[in-house]
A = this chain, B = another copy of it.
Amino acid sequence: MADLFKHEADFEDRVRQSFARQKAMETIGASLTLVEPGTIEIEMPFSADLTQQHGFLHAGIISAALDSACGYAAYSVMPSDAAVLTIEFKINLLSPGKGERFLFRGSVTKPGRTIIVADGQAFAFDADGSAKQIATMTATLMTVSGRTDIRG
């Protein structure tokens, strides 16, 4: 994976520092568990505080973690002075967000100077460690340069 996409030497530091500033990720208990050029993984344990009405992980929380995974996958292949913005994403919920912990993977599908397309997959893990894909995302990200109000 590490050789698929052109990237700056400081990509991992930039991703980790920016992710650390995402208070929403801390609030939902999500951690960065893989940082490769063009591929990011985020993991989180189940929490009853993040559920919808049937007691499963809320689709919006799945979206939040997948959006961060896709966004940082794109960010990891951007120039060092760029910031990343999510233009849009689409998510399909494939199975209920039922499990002990969750993994969210974002991967760059198409790099680009201005527009980057990334795909995301969310998995739920049972107590016995068996995994089930619960969601799939396609996200469009934008490279933003030269704006002083946003960085990272």
Contact B64 A61 (CB under 8 A): yes
Chain A contact-residue range equals 35 or more
Residues of chain A touching chain B, judged by Cβ–Cβ distance below 8 Å, are: 18-19, 21-27, 48-54, 58-61, 63-68, 83, 85-95, 109-110, 114-115, 117, 119, 133, 136, 138, 140, 142, 149-152
Q: How many copies of the shown chain assemble into the complex?
A: 4
**Least distance between A97 CB and chain B CB atoms (Å):** 10
Q: Is the CB of A27 within 8 A of B49?
A: yes
Residue of chain B at shortest CB distance from A18: B53
Q: How long is the Cα–Cα vector from A76 to B17 in the complex, in angstroms?
A: 41
**Which of B89, B114, B117 is within 8 Å of A114, CB to CB?**
B114
Contact A50 B23 (CB under 8 A): yes
Q: List, sorted by A's number, 11 A–B pairs whose CB atoms are closer than 8 Å.
A: A22-B51, A22-B53, A24-B52, A24-B60, A27-B50, A60-B61, A61-B64, A85-B93, A89-B91, A136-B138, A140-B140
